[in-house]
Each structure stands twice: as structure tokens, then as C-alpha cells.
């Protein structure tokens, strides 16, 4: 759906994007990640044609990005952009018509969304009369009412209580199931784990990793497992060339939990063959780094050149 090639953006003495390339597959949910000031908003503004890159190209659905694509994009900015003194219903009609809908079609779709989001009584209210979370609902409807092919959501859960955050999450998933491609920018890593198919991580204007979520997590696997077993007369000890013990948590007369790292060239099956004659195992789980852990590690230390080369 989106091919981003070698984008550079400079503001006076600050380089916001430095040769950033990535791609967003059609029909996926794509996470745009990075710490504050990394360049995420600059890239979003370029995709929305609010600003232009100094160099590089973006292709939208196989065509070079141009003004005709604006009507196929929905954008929910982190800083909300509603008119506080305007009635919500008229404001929604105005925004929907800017995206190319007729007044009749816009009215039908807005009423559908208002019923879906339990906003029927809001038509004649003004934005300034709503809570932050209610304003967020209005902004979300304005983003999706024209049925865009590409939806860009910048911190979409900001201001929502858990119940309404879950409602928005389900709507995002529904839009994606119905064919929309979604770019999702957030600092909530648990939402990334739950929603995203692929991600790109930008730090200090540069891309430091991208790819499918599952592939990235596999790269950062450490062959570490948590093993819980019943108490035994003889404690489990490390076996050189097979596994090392990272930690032991012993609850007397209940259980012992080991965190073990398997040696290169060995598998968990090899470890189990050693342990099963000695202890009764109750639970086994591989400890795969979370996206939060990977995010912190990479932003702190930067990705290795080999990893960047592999994913470019």
C-alpha cells in the first residue's frame, strides 16, 4: 500500500528524517514507533502531503504519492483538530464533504457511526461541551467516515478510559478486516504487540529496524526458558555445554522456578532429557523479549549494522 524510499527532511539545523525507507503491506496494521522527537510525526505529515520531503519518494498503492490520494487517506492526529464552537453534526458533515462525500451520503454515514458509537444525542452539542474522551470519539469518526483505504492513527487511545479504548480497538480491527490498511503510531507497546503485523522503529531521524513483528521477536530470542518443577531432594545444577542457570526462585514445599539459558547448538529437548529423570516439571515457557524490551534496547544502544543491513 505504501512504499517509502530514502526520505530526507531537514528543518533549519535539525534533520528530522535521514534516508528513511520502509514499506507498508496492503491490508496490514503497521506500527510506526520511536521515542519523542525521533521523526515519526514528520513522516506522517509527508504521507499526508502536509509537508514535502527534501528528497526521496513515496508510492501509494503503486502510484507516486500525489494530491488525488488525499481522499483515500484518513488521519487521526495526536493533537486533535476539531472546531470547539461548532456543532458536532455540522462539523462532521463539513469534514466528510472535504473528503469528497455528498451531503446526503455524509449524513447517512455519520448517523450510522453515531449509532454505532452511542453518540446519537451529540449532533447539536459543541466540541467544547465534551470530555476529552468524547472529543476523541468524534475525531475518530471524522477520520474513518469516508472509508479510507489507508488510516493513520497517531496515539488513538489517548484520553480514553479502558472501556472506550477497547471499543476503539475493536473498531480498528474491524476496519482492518474489511480491507483498510492501518498505520498505528503509539508509545503503548502492549497495543503494538496486540494489534500490529509489522513495525518500523525510528530513532534520531534514522530507521534502526523494521519488519514483521514475529520475525523481529525471533531475531531477539535468547534461548532462555522458565521451568517450574516440584521440590526435589537434589537441586538442579548447571551443566556445562548444555544450559546455564540465570536465576532460581524456591518456594519451600511448593515449587522451584528456574530461568535457564540453553547453550548454542542445544535445544530445549536436550535440557528436558536431562531434567525429566531428576524433577517433576509443571510448567515450561520460552522467555521471548517483548516489543517494549526490544524498543528500549535498540533506542538505548542502536541496532547492530548487521541487523539494519538484513532488514533493508
Q: Which three cell numbers stand for residue 198?
A: 509489522
Same domain for 101 and 25, yes or no, is yes
Q: Evaluate if residue 306 carries a pLDDT over 60.
A: no
- In a domain? residue 292: no
- Residue 309 pLDDT class (50, 70, 90 cuts): very low
CATH code for the domain in which residue 236 is found: 3.30.70
Element (H, E) at 93: helix 88-98
- In a domain? residue 301: no
Q: What is the pLDDT of residue 296?
A: 85
Strand pairing report for 2-11 and 55-60: antiparallel
Q: What is the pLDDT of residue 26?
A: 95
- In a domain? residue 268: yes
Query: What is the DSSP secondary-structure string of 199-214?
Result: EEEEETTEEEEEEEHH
Position of cell 539459558? Answer: 261
Q: What is the pLDDT of residue 78?
A: 81
- In a domain? residue 293: no
Position of cell 447539536? Answer: 124
Q: Quote the CA–CA distance of 277 and 203 in Å, as a whole number.
A: 49
Buried b (16+ CB within 10 A) or exposed e, 64-89: ebeeebbebbbbbbeebebeeeebbb
What are the residues whose beta carbons fall under 8 Å from the beta carbon of 255, sequence distance 6 or more?
A: 228, 229, 230, 231, 282
Same domain for 6 and 68, yes or no, is yes
- In a domain? residue 303: no
Identify the DSSP state of 95. H
Same domain for 271 and 187, yes or no, is no
- In a domain? residue 192: yes
Query: What is the DSSP secondary-structure string of 107-155?
Result: HHHHHHHHHHTT-GGGTT-BGGGS-HHHHHHHHHHHHHTT--SEEEEES
Same domain for 75 and 201, yes or no, is yes
Q: Which domain holds residue 113?
A: 2-218
Q: What is the pLDDT of residue 312?
A: 40
Same domain for 211 and 77, yes or no, is yes
Domain boundary among 203, 218, 233: 218
Same domain for 137 and 266, yes or no, is no
- Residue 16 pLDDT class (50, 70, 90 cuts): very high
45: three-class secondary structure by DSSP: helix
> pTM for the complete prediction?
0.81
What are the residues whose beta carbons fall under 8 Å from the beta carbon of 47, sequence distance 6 or more?
A: 2, 4, 58, 65, 73, 152, 183
Counting the structural domains of the chain, the total is: 2
- In a domain? residue 306: no
Q: Quote the CA–CA distance of 287 and 292 in Å, as a whole number.
A: 14
Q: Quote the CA–CA distance of 97 and 110 in Å, as a whole number.
A: 11
Same domain for 201 and 111, yes or no, is yes
Percent of the chain with pLDDT over 70: 96
CATH code for the domain in which residue 139 is found: 3.40.50.300
- Residue 302 pLDDT class (50, 70, 90 cuts): low
Domain boundary among 177, 196, 218: 218
Same domain for 52 and 85, yes or no, is yes
Same domain for 190 and 248, yes or no, is no
Domain boundary among 170, 197, 218: 218
* pLDDT tens per residue across span 177-214: 999 999 999 888 888 888 999 999 998 899 988 999 98
Strand pairing report for 198-203 and 181-185: unpaired
Same domain for 275 and 169, yes or no, is no
Q: Report the mean per-residue pLDDT for the chain.
A: 89
Q: What's the number of CA atoms in the CB half-sphere (13 Å) around residue 68?
A: 5
* pLDDT tens per residue across span 252-262: 888 999 999 99
Q: Evaluate if residue 310 carries a pLDDT over 60.
A: no
289: three-class secondary structure by DSSP: coil
Same domain for 155 and 14, yes or no, is yes
- In a domain? residue 295: no
Same domain for 280 and 256, yes or no, is yes
Amino acid at each position: 500500500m505504501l512504499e517509502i524510499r530514502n526520505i530526507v527532511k531537514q528543518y533549519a539545523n535539525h534533520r528530522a528524517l535521514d534516508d528513511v525507507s520502509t514499506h507498508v503491506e496492503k491490508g496490514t496494521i503497521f506500527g510506526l514507533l520511536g521515542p519523542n522527537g525521533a521523526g515519526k510525526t514528520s513522516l506522517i505529515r509527508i504521507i499526508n502531503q502536509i509537508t514535502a520531503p527534501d528528497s526521496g519518494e513515496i508510492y501509494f498503492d503503486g502510484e507516486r504519492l500525489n494530491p488525488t490520494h488525499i481522499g483515500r487517506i484518513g488521519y487521526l492526529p495526536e493533537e486533535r483538530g476539531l472546531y470547539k464552537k461548532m456543532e458536532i453534526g455540522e462539523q462532521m458533515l463539513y469534514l466528510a464533504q472535504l473528503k469528497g462525500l455528498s451531503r446526503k451520503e455524509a449524513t447517512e454515514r455519520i448517523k450510522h457511526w453515531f449509532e454505532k458509537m452511542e453518540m446519537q444525542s451529540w449532533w447539536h452539542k459543541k466540541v467544547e461541551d465534551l470530555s476529552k474522551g468524547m472529543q476523541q470519539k468524534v475525531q475518530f469518526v471524522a477520520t474513518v467516515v469516508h472509508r479510507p483505504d489507508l488510516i493513520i492513527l497517531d496515539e488513538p487511545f489517548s484520553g480514553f478510559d479502558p472501556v472506550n479504548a477497547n471499543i476503539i480497538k475493536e473498531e480498528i480491527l474491524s476496519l482492518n478486516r474489511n480491507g483498510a490498511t492501518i498505520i498505528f503510531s503509539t508509545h503503548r507497546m502492549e497495543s503494538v504487540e496486540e494489534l500490529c503485523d509489522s513495525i518500523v522503529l525510528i530513532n534520531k531521524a534514522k530507521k534502526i529496524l523494521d519488519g514483521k513483528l514475529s520475525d523481529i521477536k525471533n531475531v531477539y530470542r535468547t534461548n532462555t526458558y522458565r521451568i517450574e518443577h516440584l521440590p526435589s531432594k537434589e537441586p538442579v545444577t548447571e551443566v556445562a555445554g548444555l544450559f546455564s542457570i540465570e536465576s532460581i526462585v524456591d518456594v519451600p514445599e511448593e515449587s522451584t522456578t528456574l530461568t535457564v539459558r540453553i547453550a548454542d547448538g542445544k535445544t530445549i529437548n536436550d535440557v528436558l532429557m536431562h531434567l525429566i529423570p531428576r524433577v517433576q516439571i509443571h510448567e515450561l515457557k520460552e522467555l521471548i523479549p517483548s516489543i517494549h524490551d526490544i524498543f528500549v534496547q535498540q533506542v538505548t544502544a542502536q541496532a547492530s549494522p548487521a541487523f539494519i543491513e538484513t532488514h533493508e
